[in-house]
């Protein structure tokens, strides 16, 4: 079996910051993301400001809308070798 290296944290990014960063990179407003996901804009704001936990189900919904894997939102800032990135 091939050896693997444990993931190491590269930068400090909160879960909320990861949601905001991905949303802004796709040039979406909180209102637009709300329309895409069915998650109220106030809840998206609260997630981005770390007032509300993201949770697995919300992470899945947001990940679909933001075209990323839910783990990108739930575990922000982890180093993944480029050769192994999906």
Q: Which residues, including other chains, have CB under 8 Å from residue 56's CB and lie 6 or more apart?
A: 70, 74
pLDDT tens sequence across 35-72: 999 999 999 999 999 999 998 899 999 999 999 999 88
Q: Which CATH superfamily is domain 15-75 in?
A: lambda repressor-like DNA-binding domains (1.10.260.40)
Report residue 31's pLDDT band, with 50, 70 and 90 as the boundaries. Answer: very high
> Rounded to an integer, what distance in angstroms lies between the CA atom of residue 23 and that of residue 79?
21
- Give me 65's structure tokens: 């809308």
Please check the confidence at residue 86 and state whether its pLDDT lies above 60.
no
């Amino acid at each position: 079996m091939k050896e693997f290296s444990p993931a190491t944290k590269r930068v400090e990014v909160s879960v909320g910051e990861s949601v905001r960063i991905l949303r802004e990179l796709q040039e979406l407003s909180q209102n637009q993301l709300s329309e895409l996901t069915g998650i109220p804009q106030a809840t998206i704001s609260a997630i981005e400001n770390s007032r509300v936990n993201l949770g697995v189900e919300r992470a899945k919904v947001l990940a679909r809308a933001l075209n990323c894997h839910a783990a990108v939102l739930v575990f922000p800032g982890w180093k993944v070798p480029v050769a192994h990135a999906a």
